[in-house]
Chains A and B, each alone.
Chain A
Amino acid sequence: MPSLKDLKNRISSVKSTQKITKAMQLVAAAKLKRAQDAATAARPYAERMAAVLANLAASAGGSGPKLLAGTGKSDVHLVVVMTAERGLAGGFNSYVVKLARQKILSLQAEGKTVKVLTIGKKGREQLSRDLGSLLTGHVNLSDIKGNDFAESAMSVGLMLTKSYEAGEFDVATLIYSQFRNVISQVPTAQQLIPAKAPEGAPTIDLGGAIYAYEPGEAALLEALLPRYINTQILSALLESSAGEQASRMTAMDNATRNAKDLIKALNLKYNRARQAQITKELIEIISGAEAL
């Protein structure tokens, strides 16, 4: 049976935890709004880019630069795992890592060589436990303020295309958390290289006219593909960041509610213990008086 003082200490400790979780929830809510706005603002560009690429890829047919056509084999796979820099966001990071692990194991079962590039600290921490030998690189996101991911998206894209040209891998897959809405973030695997024109992109009706390309088709594709890959990485980063905040907000909301329940239960226990002590003291006084 804990003493009254113990109970009091516990109640105050739970109360301060609740204050922290509440504050984190409010901060996450504010950040979510901004992250969501940034993700929405970036969408038109990504959509148009996809439409342009689909258009161009369709007219290029099966040929085209290596980034589109592939190296002709699929022996070495690069898995890019995008997680958050911080935890305390419910299952957000774990879900992404779980999907990544599944993907890696199934690729290994097929006899492929797998390399892993991590973006965000949490994914690296979780994967290094059992798949540490596969990690080839890491991208740190902790210096980024707000939602200014453009620069990192560009450098990741550049790094990927460079090592692809150098023949370090054949296929690159990005695993990130897709932001559906505030309560649902879906871990998704998306093939980055060779670039895939999005399926179901609206084809443009040219009314029988023929596209003119300046400078040639091949040169355009060459210029467009790296940018298309950058754009995909950028929108994944933005969605991932919105998802992280949404997930943290929900997790902290639950934690706050849980703390509230805990405080209620502890208060009841405290009051009972206090009452029991008073009764005990009264009995002692009364029986002492009777004995006289």
Chain B
Amino acid sequence: MADKLHFSLVSPARELFSGQVDHVIAPGTEGEFGVLAHHAPFMTTLKNGIVRVLEGDAVKMRIYVRGGFADVTPAGLTILAEEARNLTDAKAEDVDAEIEAARLKLLALDAGDAKHFALHEQIAYLEGIRAALAN
């Protein structure tokens, strides 16, 4: 196999992954893109979606991200996600419960509360995770 790519994925809360991988596929706002070692410098915004980490041709890890940035430099690929969750340890029931809780919170809000937007985004993110877990 060719050279390895240094890949790290961080969210404001913590660093989810950092290490050497073969291939990463990420959801850019202008389309999915794959990064291998020695990729040209490149920066893009991300949309909600799944970041796939590949080892050879096999998918080693799937992480659901909610927006953010990807930065490819000669040193490797860095993804700054607004929020991210590793799909290998997420459980569908937990996510369902979270969606339910977020919906209840939304109902409890007054119209015009500034939190509406954030909650809607949160729900879209959780539903994205749910959908990703289903397949």
Most interface-central of B12, B14, B28, B80 (chain A CB within 10 A):
B12
Report how far A46 CA is from B14 CA in the complex, Å: 10
One digit per residue, 1 when the CB lies within 8 angstroms of any chain B CB and 0 when it does not, for chain A 38-50 equals 1001101110110
Return the contact of B41 from the options A38, A42, A206, A227 (Cβ within 8 A): A206
Return the contact of B10 from the options A48, A205, A212, A223 (Cβ within 8 A): A48
Residues of B within 8 A of A48 (CB): 8, 10, 71, 78, 80
> A158 an interface residue at 8 Å Cβ cutoff?
yes
Q: Are A158 and B114 in contact (CB under 8 A)?
A: yes
> B29 an interface residue at 8 Å Cβ cutoff?
yes
Nearest CB in chain B: distance from A136 CB, A: 17
One digit per residue, 1 when the CB lies within 8 angstroms of any chain A CB and 0 when it does not, for chain B 19-48 equals 000000000111000000000111111000
> B107 an interface residue at 8 Å Cβ cutoff?
no
Binding site for A on B (CB under 8 A): 8, 10-15, 28-30, 40-45, 69, 71, 73-75, 78, 80, 82, 114-115, 118
Q: Are A214 and B74 in contact (CB under 8 A)?
A: no
Chain A interface residue bracket vs B: 20 to 34
> A215 an interface residue at 8 Å Cβ cutoff?
yes
Q: Are B82 and A227 in contact (CB under 8 A)?
A: yes
Q: Are A211 and B42 in contact (CB under 8 A)?
A: yes
Chain B residue, CB-CB nearest to A159: B114
Q: Are B41 and A231 in contact (CB under 8 A)?
A: no
Return the contact of A214 from the options B14, B44, B82 (Cβ within 8 A): B44
Report how far A44 CA is from B9 CA in the complex, Å: 10
Return the contact of B78 from the options A41, A52, A210, A214 (Cβ within 8 A): A52
Within 8 A of B (CB), among A31-75: 38, 41-42, 44-46, 48-49, 52, 55-56
Chain B residue, CB-CB nearest to A41: B14
